[in-house]
Amino acid sequence: MSLNRMTTVAEPTALSAPADRSPVKLAVVIGSNRHGRFGPVIADWFLAHVRERADLDVEIVDLAEHDLPTALSHQPSAEVRAQLAAVTPKLAAAEAFVVLTPEYNHSFPAALKNLIDWHFTEWQAKLVGFVSYGGVSGGLRAVEQLRTVFAELHAVTVRDTVSFHNAFGHFDAQGGHRDPAECDAAAKLLLDRLMWWALALREAKAVRPY
C-alpha cells in the first residue's frame, strides 16, 4: 500500500526593498572660531579627501561663521532664531558628522560645546567621527571628552580618528602635508569606517525609526 504524502510549497518570500546607496550626507564641523586658528589648514586637507569620494555629499559648518549666544534658551529671540536658521538645517540634514577640533587646555573649544548644546535631536542616532590637532597630545584629549558628550546625545562615535601632533610643523606654507602617507591612510580608514556605520544606521532607521 502506498501512502500519498502531502507536499507543502513554501510561499515565495517578498523581496526586500533595495538598499539606499545614495551618497551619505556628511557635515564637517570646523570646531574653532579662535582668531589666528589653524583649523582651516586641517579642514582644507581633510575636505580634499572627502571630495575625492562619490559616496559622500559634504556640507561645511564653520563655527567662525556662526556666532551663537552662550546663554541657551528654550524660547530664543527672533535674532537668535535667525542665527540658528543658518546652521540647524545643516545639522538636521546630515546623516553623519566629522568634527575638526583643536585642544584648548586639555579640552575642546567653548564654541564647539555651544553648538552642540543648542541642538539635540539633530545629533540623535547619527555618526560622529573626529579629526583633531594640537601639541603633544594631537587633540586626543579633546576627542575623548567629546565622545562622552555625544554619547549623552545618543550619537555613535567612530573609534578610528585622524590626529595631528604638533600640527604646525607638519604642513607647508601652501597647506600641504610634508609627509602625507600616514595621515592620508588614516583619513581613508576614518572615511571607510564612517561609511560603514552611516549606511548601517540608515538601513536600521529605515526599518525601525529611532
Query: What is the tens place of the pLDDT at every residue in 102-130?
Result: 999 999 999 999 999 999 999 999 999 99
pLDDT at 13 over 70: no
Tell me: the pLDDT tens digits for 200-209? 999 999 999 9
Report the chain's terminal Cα–Cα distance, integer Å.
Answer: 60
198 vs 12, more confident: 198
State the total domains in the chain. 1
Residue 14 lies in a domain: no
Residue 198 lies in a domain: yes
Residue 177 lies in a domain: yes
Q: How confident is the model at residue 154 (pLDDT cuts 50, 70, 90)?
A: very high
Residue 197 lies in a domain: yes
Residue 12 lies in a domain: no
Instruction: Output the 3-class SS for 27-61.
Output: EEEECCCCCCCCHHHHHHHHHHHHCCCCCEEEEEE
CATH of the domain at 195: 3.40.50.360
Asked if 202 and 16 count as a contact pair (C-beta separation under 8 A), the reply is: no
Tell me: the pLDDT tens digits for 24-44? 999 999 999 999 999 999 999
Q: Give φ, ψ of 72 to 5 degrees.
A: -75, 155
* Cα–Cα distance measured from residue 192 to residue 129, given in angstroms and rounded to the nearest whole number: 11
Residue 174 lies in a domain: yes
Residue 15 lies in a domain: no
Residue 17 lies in a domain: no
CA dihedral 174, 35, 101, 21 (to 10 degrees): -70
* Cα–Cα distance measured from residue 63 to residue 61, given in angstroms and rounded to the nearest whole number: 6
Q: Give the domain extent around 71.
A: 24-207
